[in-house]
Amino acid sequence: MSECESCFTPLIRLDVNHLMSDVVGERYGISANELDAAQQAATAAFEAVKRNRGQGWLGWTELPYNQDDIVADIEQTATSIRKRFKAFVVLGIGGSALGPIAVHQALNHLHYNELSDEIRRGPRLYVEDNIDPERMQALLDVVDVKTTCFNVITKSGATAETMSQYLIVTEALKKAVGDGWQQHIIATTDREKGNLIKLAQLEGFKTFYIPSSVGGRFSQLSPVGLLAAAVCGINIRLMLSGAKCMDQRCATDRIWDNPALLEAVIQHVLMESGINVHVMMPYADSLKYMADWFCQLWAESLGKNVTRKGMAVNVGQTPVKSLGVTDQHSQLQLYTEGPYDKVITFLKVEAFRATTAIPHGCEEFPDVAFLGGKTLNQLIEAERQGTEYALLRAGRMSQTITLPIVNEHTIGQLLYFLELVTAYVGELLDIDAFNQPGVEESKIASYAVLGHTGDKYRLKQQEMAAAPASQEKYIL
């Protein structure tokens, strides 16, 4: 199937040839029999996700279907932002930032902010997902807060990084704008929980809600990602319709007919056989940050120390981001000759949105002249195939997800596909793919270090004081 049967748009494809033992070799490849043997477990995973659709932490499964009013509101708000502001700044971290960054890179011009106001489809966009003090100052050096809209995104409404940024920008706004500073802030948060919703109600901010059943890293197709996209003129309805196409393609429990389920079974088999590293390697700058988004989704969802029944497991696969062809000159040596502990996923683009010809020249240097008359499009794909072959020759496993073109629809498909794979793998591992207890510990410890006087932080201060002290002899 190369296009959607209902909307006739091109579909992304998963090619697992280079994972299979009859292609890559018996020693590390997976056999079709092995995958067929996992059908029963796959059916159970499929049924569990289907049964819980839209509930618990599976609210994201329904986002392509249940947001008509929200999408209309987002589009209307985006139109007004485009008229009123010169810059749009997202303040958020983790799941509240990586999706907006990935979609911006994929669907906006690669030098979007540098385009002239006439050509750009919306205000300049900045996604500030760190609290590096220099970066915050640098942002305030390049935007004029009087003409900037800040979208504060935090599901919990309590994240220290985002709330610190909120305090900084509100102070700057109050000074620069005075009355009406609230018109420069849009809050995206949980409808009930957390401090941001209380602040939003108090100050009267325009607010979008993150459904309680949608966790941060699964929230790109909610207002978290949709607003920034719409502000830049991205067609968010198409993105949702791409997600819907993928959902419908994955509506069967037969692994050879459901790409997300097949991919989940493969990754589960690989994890069980000690393939602990998953390299996401887009061969397109537009998909560079899709790898970052995937890394969070994969790491935070699947890196767990207990099953749902509390059995110790310590599972997960370390995701690594790698960019083709850039990282051929950095990481590929390790992938072809290092430990046999990795699977590489290529993201391939079939039709780039530009064709760049390589001019003829340097005829006296045959190896340079040989490139003349070809295109960068041919060169990047030749290098991807070359890398795929080098890995195959070294007995290393890879797979390819092909996007016929990068557009709203295929990006919607890709996001939903990877979310679904993650949910299925969570089922196959019998873990809670939607929590992140390992992150909490660091948050509490940081507040303890900062001297928060709440009970749990004071207890943490005592616990930390009793931890082994650093010894001078180990510091050079």
10 Å Cβ neighbour count for 416? 28
- Is position 215 an interface residue for ligand PA5 (rule: CB under 6 A)? yes
What lies within 8 Å, CB to CB, of 147 at 6+ separation is: 85, 86, 87
Q: Which of 323, 383, 318 has its CA nearest to residue 347? A: 323
> Which range binds ligand PA5 by CB under 6 A, 120-128, 142-150, 151-159, 412-420?
151-159
- Is position 304 an interface residue for ligand PA5 (rule: CB under 6 A)? no
Instruction: Label residue 177 exposed, middle or buried (CB < 10 Å: 0-12, 13-18, 19+).
Output: middle
DSSP three-state, residue 58: coil
In the window 425-444, what residues touch ligand PA5 (CB under 6 A)?
Answer: 436
- Is position 216 an interface residue for ligand PA5 (rule: CB under 6 A)? yes
**Residue given tokens 């004081």 in the structure block:** 465
CA–CA separation, 314 and 55 (whole Å): 26
DSSP three-state, residue 278: strand
Query: Least Å distance between CB 401 and ligand PA5?
Result: 22
Active site residue 263: no
CA–CA separation, 416 and 220 (whole Å): 9
Instruction: Report the half-sphere exposure of 36 (CA within 13 A, side-chain side).
Output: 3
> Which range binds ligand PA5 by CB under 6 A, 152-160, 243-251, 313-321, 400-408?
152-160
Say if CB 279 and CB 346 are below 8 A apart.
no
Query: Least Å distance between CB 52 and ligand PA5?
Result: 18
Here the tokens at position 168 are 């900084």
Say if CB 366 and CB 304 are below 8 A apart.
no
Spot the catalytic one: 161, 300, 388, 427: 300
Spot the catalytic one: 86, 109, 193, 443: 443
- Is position 155 an interface residue for ligand PA5 (rule: CB under 6 A)? yes
What lies within 8 Å, CB to CB, of 56 at 6+ separation is: 213, 434
Query: Least Å distance between CB 92 and ligand PA5?
Result: 6
Binding pattern for the stretch 222-261 against ligand PA5, x by CB under 6 A and - elsewhere = ----------------------------------------
Query: Least Å distance between CB 199 and ligand PA5?
Result: 14
Q: What is the DSSP string of 371-430?
A: TTTSBHHHHHHHHHHHHHHHHHHTT-EEEEEEEEE-SHHHHHHHHHHHHHHHHHHHHHHT
What is the signed CA dihedral for 50, 55, 56, 61, rounded to 10 degrees? 60
Active site residue 300: yes
> Which range binds ligand PA5 by CB under 6 A, 26-34, 44-52, 155-163, 402-410?
155-163
CA–CA separation, 19 and 313 (whole Å): 25
- Is position 217 an interface residue for ligand PA5 (rule: CB under 6 A)? yes
- Is position 300 an interface residue for ligand PA5 (rule: CB under 6 A)? yes
Q: Which of 128, 65, 140 has its CA nearest to residue 97? A: 128
Active site residue 329: yes
With contacts defined by CB under 6 A, how many residues of the chain interact with ligand PA5? 14
Q: Find the DSSP H helices in 85-132.
A: 98-107
- Is position 384 an interface residue for ligand PA5 (rule: CB under 6 A)? no
CA–CA separation, 461 and 438 (whole Å): 18
Binding pattern for the stretch 80-109 against ligand PA5, x by CB under 6 A and - elsewhere = -------------xxxx-------------
C-beta nearest to ligand PA5: residue = 216
Cβ-based nearer residue to ligand PA5, 214 or 280: 214
CA–CA separation, 143 and 285 (whole Å): 26
Query: Least Å distance between CB 312 and ligand PA5?
Result: 23
> Which range binds ligand PA5 by CB under 6 A, 156-164, 335-343, 424-432, 465-473?
156-164
Query: Least Å distance between CB 210 and ligand PA5?
Result: 8
Q: Which of 105, 162, 165, 410: binder of ligand PA5 (CB under 6 A)?
A: 162
Spot the catalytic one: 111, 329, 363, 473: 329
Cβ-based nearer residue to ligand PA5, 105 or 159: 159
> Which range binds ligand PA5 by CB under 6 A, 12-20, 209-217, 333-341, 455-463?
209-217
Q: Which of 154, 165, 207, 317: binder of ligand PA5 (CB under 6 A)?
A: 154
Query: Least Å distance between CB 442 and ligand PA5?
Result: 10
Report, as residue numbers or ranges, the catalytic residues: 300, 329, 443
Binding site for ligand PA5 (CB under 6 A): 93-96, 154-156, 159, 162, 215-217, 300, 436
